[in-house]
Amino acid sequence: MNANPTERPEHAQGGTYTVEGQEYVRDQRYITTRITADGSDGYPVEEGRYRLVAARACPWANRAIIVRRLLGLEDALSIGLAGPTHDERSWTFDLDPGGKDPVLGIERIQEAYFRRDPDYPRGITVPAIVDTHDGAVVTNDFAQMTLDLSTQWTAHQRPGAPRLLPDDPDQRAEMDAVMRRVFTEVNNGVYRCGFAGSQEAYDAAYVRLFDALDWLEERLADRRFLMGPAVTEADVRLFTTLVRFDAVYHGHFKCNRNKLTEMPVLWAYARDLFQLPGFGDTVDFAQIKEHYYVVHRDINPTGIMPAGPDLSGWTTPHGRESLGGDPWGGGTPPGPVRDGEQVDPDHTPLR
């Protein structure tokens, strides 16, 4: 291990990261306070009290945006969206009139972190949930956050909301194992390639990533979704990496053994999810590309964004219905996207 690891802020990617021995290592120290039905951490679930701060560019925040929409929590949990770029301090609300979040009244999410801890020492990340009573961040623990939206916010979910977490303990244990592998090898694996500090570190990361993608290609060959016939949290977590793969990770992060479009099972699976309400209608390809290519100047010093790739394939038929199943597990799809929360139609192939 390098005695003096290089540490850099990586606000979109869940915190700071270090290059130790030239290998990318994610800082996974988060504010782990939870918002629960019983308020055991001091923050009870209350309709209208909390605000989800996210960014469409960020895959970790995209998870929370999707789960909130699938569960129909728009009335219970408002959303504030930062712009696609940020400086070394934090994400900013440059998409809002006057450059301020209209509910929190702040210009950058850093202000809400400092209200929680004036000496907050770690990455200023999204997603974060902020208490509108005092303007302070409650949690930025993105992995636990979406699980709690499923389990703690049930009183505010829409009728027909899908069950994203299995009730059966054995199925849940299997799903947790799948999600662990997806996180370490795929969600985080693309960053391990992109921020490798040596050829050896990159080569090892590259092999791990594509070994996992080959495993997923095999797993999904005879089942429509990761856990079977219905969408679960596991699919949400994989989708946010797959939808960025060809647009960003293939070139920008050198994850270039092949494109997603060249992996027939995963490409069909990703299109299946993209075309479901709650998935593709949260994706803003223009913001995704702007974030990665403009912010990551250590990888892309010129800040030039590539014109491609052609994204029209996301809306082509996928044929996954032949595997059977019901994406909503007996529930119903979410309704139309709320006014004010729509993705710019020029930024996505959805029409």
Going by the annotation, the residues of the binding site for glutathione are 91
Q: Is the dihedral of CA 122, 198, 58, 25 positive or negative?
A: negative
Q: How far apart are CA 116 and CA 201, in angstroms?
A: 37
Q: How far apart are CA 253 and CA 13, in angstroms?
A: 13
Could you give the 3-state DSSP secondary structure of residue 19? strand
To the query of whether residue 292 is one of the catalytic residues in this protein, the response is no
Could you give the 3-state DSSP secondary structure of residue 195? coil
**Cβ atoms within 10 A of the Cβ of 333, count?**
13
Tell me whether residue 347 is exposed, middle or buried, using C-beta atoms within 10 angstroms of its C-beta: 0 to 12, 13 to 18, 19 or more.
middle
Tell me whether residue 330 is exposed, middle or buried, using C-beta atoms within 10 angstroms of its C-beta: 0 to 12, 13 to 18, 19 or more.
exposed
Binding site members = 91
Q: How far apart are CA 108 and CA 130, in angstroms?
A: 13
Sheet strands (E) in the chain: 6-8, 17-20, 23-26, 50-54, 78-81, 128-131, 136-139
Q: How far apart are CA 250 and CA 194, in angstroms?
A: 10
To the query of whether residue 193 is one of the catalytic residues in this protein, the response is no
Q: How far apart are CA 11 and CA 30, in angstroms?
A: 12
Considering 58, 206, 255, 269, which one is annotated as catalytic? 58
Amino acid at 16: T
Considering 30, 43, 191, 202, which one is annotated as catalytic? 191
Which residues form the catalytic set? 58, 191
